[in-house]
Amino acid sequence: MNGPLISVVVAISGPEAHPREVVEGIGTALQAAGYQCEFVFVLDGPAQRFAGELRDLAARWTLRIVQLEGGGLGESIALSAGVAKAQGEHIVNVPPYLQLEPDEVVKVVAALEAGADCVATWRRSRIDPWLNQLQSRFFNWLLRWIMNMPFHDLNSGTRGFRRHVLEEVAVYGELYRFLPVMAQRQGFRVVEVQVRHREEKGRAGFFGVGVYLRRLLDILAITFLTRFTQRPLRFFGYLGFASMAIGAPVALWYVYDRLAVPGASLSDKPGFVIGAILAAFGVQLIGFGLIGEIIIFTQAPNLRDYKLEAIIEGGAQDAERPPAHGATAIVDPPPVSPPEAAAPRPVAVTAAEPELPLRVRGLLPGEDSRWDAYVSRHALGTHFHRSGWARVVGDTFRHQPHHLVVEQGRRWLGVLPLFLTKSPFLGRNLVSVPYAVYGGVLGDSEAAQAALLAHAAQLGHELEVGYVELRHLELRPGERPRSPLYVTFRCELPEDPAEVMLRIPKKARAEVRCAREPAAPAIEGKRRQSFGIRVTPDGSVDELFALFAQNKRRLGSPALPRRWFQGLVDEFGKAAVIHRAVEPGGRTLAAVMSFCFKDTVYAYYSGSLDDVHDTGVNNWIYCAIMEWAIEQGYRRFDFGRSRADSGPARFKKNMGFEAEPLHYEYLLVAAGARLPDFHPSNPRLDLPRRIWSNMPMFLANRLGARLSRYLP
């Protein structure tokens, strides 16, 4: 195994420890994933009862034992002492019992390898008493509300971090549970990973009053340390001005009453005393803040509230200069193609090592670039498999992603993007991929694909879905129920843009000439023969959405919201191109949004005015997109999905394209589940379609933006 060494640090301070279960469970899981590991046990107090067990484990595992003098020093000191003796590049601290399923620790390590500096865990499907869960959730909610931090389970005893995090983030007392908060505040990259809960030790029910008081004080302390350490005047100033704002008006009111009313006295006015004390206390608090600011000012040269990720120095004269102490030297690698550049290195397996088993897990935070690298180099990877598509789906429609990865050791052998969708029309299902024509499983082998599909079916049972929909473009091995509803249209592009016209059938070619040749005056009694329409790749989201929504209403279908199209443009940048067809007067007649990925241009979303079909603009705009794609160096054109024998399918055939069946496959999970039949071809939807096509445009857009969430 040539992976980084993982140090698992375990602090033992009580009799509830089970070191054998921890070592054998976590050690076996890490080794199966291709990692070397060591265990560092910190004995915080008398632990003679574990001496024999630890010696037995040391004979079979790499193990270190650190005995602290005295005992009862606390988690922060114990784990800091263990980290100091650890040899690993990545550190994982776990409780002295199996709080999580052992395989879940591999997720923490994988997140560190993906680029995270610190990993917090979030125990899902918790099994401890409901009262403990309620208290924990309230504690974490309060912390998120006060500090605006995203963490859901800081009480979890499993954390991962790189060694240098503890070298720069100081923790003491009982603040170790807040290590992710403090690391994020100091500029480190912190992610949260969901893990499966296994067991919980300790007291159940209500704790003593002192425990709750200590937790509130901890929250106060961490809030001050992360928000006001370098701005003490703001903290004390807020409190001081609040105290003065309450106390001064009360005191002044009584003073005014004393001066305005002859014979009045302040000796029997407790409100005056309270107001004066509050005002004076406010002045003192502001004074404390000023003293703190003076201290910070004098110590500012020694303080650093940021983290350096890298230092890049340009200039040829610096090429052979050695890096300064503490700096990072960066050397440009030789140019390679993007897929190979981002691809992970394969894990070398020697003859002496047994072949590692396949393991399926969820995609972890920070692994998006590795995911995209795999999709880019896989022969069946499409634009819709990319992580950017998943981000826009999540941001726009709030569907929950459940992306899967199959790996052998640390080498990826396949991926499967999945989203949990909930719809009153289609039910609760897993879809790969929503709002996309292609998706499904990508695997290096049939075994990898089978492992992903088996895990997807298991996940479907856990999430109680009806089916798992796999929108495969190409046929995959195996027998599964398929839907013959959709076909797609693709072609190889010629090398010369002038050849595009020659490939278009005669009738469609005449339509293209009619649209693009310079406008000619109309002759009475005859159809106008040319319109002078220009096609340019500079369309706007507003133009596209207006035409797209108009077409969808005419067809009786809800339109996607405008923010979806804007999200795609924001996410993919120049890889999302909007072509528009403009008549000589400047009016936009049609628009098409295309996506560029690898060697393919996907013409995806389109729209046109209702009264321009006789101009040939629809034929011309797609011809122009193909010519543009050739000029940009692309070799394939994807005309997209259509229902078999529908109007759009016939239009594409008239443009010279051949229909290819789409292999939409299903894993029927629930008892009695069947293939979905909620689509425009269903006769039961004729009446709703007619109603929708006559709806006012503003109402159709508002309702469509909401309904489209339920039509993935």
Q: How confident is the model over 416-467, as pLDDT tens digits?
A: 999 999 999 999 999 999 999 999 999 999 999 999 999 999 999 999 999 9
DSSP string covering 354-403: PPPPEEEEEPPTT-HHHHHHHHHHSTT--GGGSHHHHHHHHHHH-PEE--
Instruction: Determine, yes or no, domain membership for 339.
Output: no
pLDDT on residue 349 = 41
Does the pLDDT of residue 386 top 90, yes or no? yes
Asked if 436 and 595 count as a contact pair (C-beta separation under 8 A), the reply is no
**Which of 189-193, 273-277, 286-290, 655-659 is the least confident region?**
286-290
Does the pLDDT of residue 119 top 70, yes or no? yes
Q: How confident is the model over 581-624, as pLDDT tens digits?
A: 999 989 999 999 999 999 999 999 999 998 888 899 999 999 99
Considering the domain architecture, whether residues 451 and 514 belong to the same structural domain is answered as no
Considering the domain architecture, whether residues 629 and 528 belong to the same structural domain is answered as yes
Instruction: Determine, yes or no, domain membership for 388.
Output: yes
Close Cβ partners of 182 (under 8 Å, ≥ 6 residues apart):
169, 171, 175, 222, 225, 226
Instruction: Determine, yes or no, domain membership for 675.
Output: no
pLDDT on residue 338 = 41
Return the closest-CA partner of residue 534 out of 603, 470, 587, 598: 587
Give the CATH number, domain containing residue 413.
3.40.630.30
Asked if 494 and 656 count as a contact pair (C-beta separation under 8 A), the reply is no
pLDDT on residue 636 = 96
State how far the Cα of 245 lies from the Cα of 247, in Å rounded to an integer: 6
- The arithmetic mean of pLDDT across residues 515-530, rounded, is 69
Considering the domain architecture, whether residues 554 and 447 belong to the same structural domain is answered as no
State how far the Cα of 176 lies from the Cα of 170, in Å rounded to an integer: 9
Which of the listed ranges 121-130, 293-302, 594-603 does the model predict with the highest average pLDDT? 594-603
Given 431, 455, 480, the domain boundary residue is 480
pLDDT on residue 326 = 36
pLDDT on residue 701 = 92
pTM, rounded to two decimals:
0.68
Encoded amino acid at 287, one letter: G
Greatest CA separation found in the chain? 110
Domain count, the chain: 4
Instruction: Determine, yes or no, domain membership for 492.
Output: yes
Given 480, 498, 529, the domain boundary residue is 480
Considering the domain architecture, whether residues 289 and 390 belong to the same structural domain is answered as no
State how far the Cα of 403 lies from the Cα of 396, in Å rounded to an integer: 18
Instruction: Determine, yes or no, domain membership for 337.
Output: no
Give the C-alpha distances (Å, rounded to integers) separating 330 from 20, 204, 219, 248, 313. 44, 53, 40, 60, 8
Q: Which two tokens stand for residue 677?
A: 């039949």
Q: Which two tokens stand for residue 190?
A: 């912190």
pLDDT on residue 282 = 84
Return the closest-CA partner of residue 535 out of 607, 588, 600: 588
Considering the domain architecture, whether residues 382 and 503 belong to the same structural domain is answered as no
Considering the domain architecture, whether residues 186 and 109 belong to the same structural domain is answered as yes
Does the pLDDT of residue 39 top 70, yes or no? yes
Give the CATH number, domain containing residue 10.
3.90.550.10
Return the closest-CA partner of residue 109 out of 165, 191, 41, 166: 191
pLDDT on residue 568 = 96
Over its C-alpha atoms, the chain yields an Rg (Å, rounded) of 33
**Which of 84-88, 358-362, 648-652 is the least confident region?**
84-88
Collapsing DSSP to helix, strand or coil, 131 comes out as: helix
State how far the Cα of 582 lies from the Cα of 536, in Å rounded to an integer: 8
- Domain range spanning residue 437? 367-480
Considering the domain architecture, whether residues 547 and 629 belong to the same structural domain is answered as yes
pLDDT on residue 259 = 80
Considering the domain architecture, whether residues 129 and 239 belong to the same structural domain is answered as no
CA angle 111/112/116 to nearest 5° reads 90
Instruction: Determine, yes or no, domain membership for 186.
Output: yes
Does the pLDDT of residue 310 top 50, yes or no? no
Beta bridge pairs of residue 510: none
616/209: higher pLDDT: 616
CA angle 333/334/335 to nearest 5° reads 115
- The arithmetic mean of pLDDT across residues 54-72, rounded, is 81
Considering the domain architecture, whether residues 288 and 422 belong to the same structural domain is answered as no
pLDDT on residue 707 = 93
State how far the Cα of 278 lies from the Cα of 243, in Å rounded to an integer: 5
Structure-token match 């894993």, residue found: 667
CA angle 492/497/501 to nearest 5° reads 85
Asked if 31 and 1 count as a contact pair (C-beta separation under 8 A), the reply is yes
Instruction: Determine, yes or no, domain membership for 332.
Output: no
Collapsing DSSP to helix, strand or coil, 175 comes out as: helix
State how far the Cα of 17 lies from the Cα of 50, in Å rounded to an integer: 9
**Which of 103-107, 173-177, 542-546 is the least confident region?**
173-177
Q: How confident is the model over 462-484, as pLDDT tens digits?
A: 999 999 999 999 999 989 999 98
Considering the domain architecture, whether residues 123 and 246 belong to the same structural domain is answered as no
Does the pLDDT of residue 334 top 70, yes or no? no
Instruction: Determine, yes or no, domain membership for 196.
Output: yes
Considering the domain architecture, whether residues 466 and 509 belong to the same structural domain is answered as no
Considering the domain architecture, whether residues 534 and 454 belong to the same structural domain is answered as no
- The arithmetic mean of pLDDT across residues 225-249, rounded, is 76
Given 207, 227, 247, the domain boundary residue is 227
Does the pLDDT of residue 318 top 50, yes or no? no
Asked if 179 and 131 count as a contact pair (C-beta separation under 8 A), the reply is no
pLDDT on residue 523 = 57
Return the closest-CA partner of residue 29 out of 89, 110, 90, 96: 110
